[in-house]
Copies of this chain bind each other. A is one copy, B any other.
Amino acid sequence: MPQLTMVEALNLALGESMAADDRVCIMGEDVGVNGGVFRVTKGLLERFGADRVLDTPLAEDSIIGTAVGMAVYGLKPVAEIQFSGFTMQAFDQIEQNMARLRNRSRSRYPISMVMRAPYGGGIRAVEHHSESREAYWAHTPGLKVVIPSGPRNARALLAASIADPDPVVFYEPKAVYRAFREEVSESPETMEIGKAQIVRPGGDVTLIGYGAMMRPVLEAADDLVEEHGIDVEVIDLLSIKPMDTETLVESVSRTGRCVVVHEGPRMCGIAAEIIARLNEHAFEYLLAPIRRVTGFDIHFPYFQVEKHYLPDSDSIVVAVKETMQWT
């Protein structure tokens, strides 16, 4: 089994999906000749030709709008937005057409498409290049939202997202793009959208994260287990919408304590939703308030200080310890 980075794993999934289904096509800024600014689409133009790998003009709103049109026509576009910060440019087409056209056409036109975008901080990028605003899409009816955390699940989830009959926002943690390699199976692999994964079982407290935050989360878990003797259960959300309430509720019903971690702003973020669901479905088991270790409700700071803004394992450890001590 090859050892791949997330970039390579995503590239693999794209190539496999395109080979398997000739309706799958790729579009976006610099995705063709250049192979994408992060090289996720490298080599696909050469392999599949310019009718299936479309370098587009520089206009996100129309990248999504025309991708929706191609989906209406019966193709399965995978549209790349170069950085998730620029999905704002496409907000109207995402909300009004991508997320709605199935319903607006009373299912005559299912919109089977994927919007891929690298998201999140940690790579010393300039303004507007480090946002983590998946909560916008979670709040938008009609979409699915998927966020992988490593090469292997990235490959499987991207394949699943492309195959999905509904529009999927696929956010790629760019801090993980080349951060590590993982074994990825040689034959195509897929994963069910809508399922969270217990990546470390434990009995004392549930620690929930996703995407790039899984690294500090797992680091914190190791630390908590080894240094503090706290038996942490770690959940990787993987699918933000639909959210796997069942797995979350089952875990927190056992542990009674929970900490949720994400990069994005706190207010009305994913952690708020998780807390609301646990409050609804695991209230009687809660032994302590659920803690949020998240981005703050300020703009992502300029890159010399981003490492302080981003949740790190130390902050997670502190929050978990406080949660354990709560009485």
Q: Which residues of A approach B to under 8 Å, CB–CB?
A: 85, 88-89, 91-92, 95-96, 99-100, 103-104, 127-128, 133, 135-136, 138-142, 241, 243, 264-265, 267-273, 275-276, 279-281, 283, 286, 288-292, 296-299
Contact between A96 and B88 (Cβ–Cβ < 8 Å)? yes
Q: Which residues of B contact A96 (CB under 8 A)?
A: 85, 88, 128
Name which residue of chain B comes closest to A88, CB basis: B92
Verify B288–A283 contact, CB threshold 8 A: yes
* Minimum CB–CB distance for A99 against chain B, Å: 8
Offer 19 A-B interface pairs, CB within 8 angstroms, sorted by A: A88-B96, A91-B92, A103-B299, A133-B139, A136-B136, A139-B139, A139-B265, A139-B269, A243-B267, A267-B273, A268-B272, A272-B273, A272-B276, A275-B275, A275-B276, A276-B276, A279-B279, A280-B292, A283-B286
- A142: chain B residues at CB < 8 Å are 298-299
Q: List B contacts of A275 (CB < 8 A).
A: 272, 275-276, 279
Decide yes or no: A139 and B135 within 8 Å by CB, A100-B299, A272-B273 being known contacts: yes
Q: Is the CB of A280 within 8 A of B289?
A: yes
Bound Cα distance from A134 to B224, whole angstroms: 38
Question: In chain B, what residue has the closest Cβ to A95?
Answer: B88
What are the residues of chain B within 8 A of A271 when measuring CB–CB? 276
CA distance A96 to B299 in the complex (A): 10
Tell me, in angstroms, the Cα distance from A177 to B292 when the chains sit together: 38
A89 to B243, CA, bound (A): 28
Task: Find out whether the CB atom of B127 lies under 8 angstroms from the CB atom of A104.
Answer: yes
Q: For residue A290, which residues in chain B have a CB less than 8 angstroms away from its CB?
A: 276, 279-280
Q: What chain B residues lie within 8 Å of A267 (beta carbons)?
A: 138-139, 241, 243, 273
**CB closest residue in chain B, given A136:** B136
Contact present for B138 and A268 (CB under 8 Å): yes
List B contacts of A88 (CB < 8 A).
91-92, 95-96
Chain B residues whose CB sits within 8 angstroms of the CB of A241 once the complex forms = 267
CB distance from A249 to the nearest CB of B (A): 12
Q: A283-B288, A289-B283 are in contact. Are A141 and B265 (CB under 8 A)?
A: yes
In the bound complex, residues from chain B placing their C-beta under 8 Å from that of A85 are 96
Most chain B CB neighbours (cut-off 10 Å) among A243, A265, A283: A283
Closest beta carbon of chain B to A300's beta carbon, Å: 9
CA of A243 to CA of B268 in the docked complex: distance in angstroms?
11
Query: Which residues of B have CB within 8 Å of A298?
Result: 103, 141-142
Residues of B within 8 A of A89 (CB): 92
Please name all residues of chain B whose beta carbon is closer than 8 Å to the beta carbon of A281 when the two chains form the complex.
289
Q: Which residues of B contact A140 (CB under 8 A)?
A: 265
Contact A276-B292, Cβ < 8 Å, known A136-B136, A269-B139: yes
How far is A241 from B271 in the complex, measured between Cα atoms in Å? 17
CA separation between A153 and B103, bound complex, in Å?
37
A279: contacting residue among B92, B135, B268, B289, CB under 8 A? B289
Contact of A141 among B270, B273, B279, B297 (CB under 8 A): B297
Chain B residue numbers with a CB within 8 Å of A289 are 279-281, 283
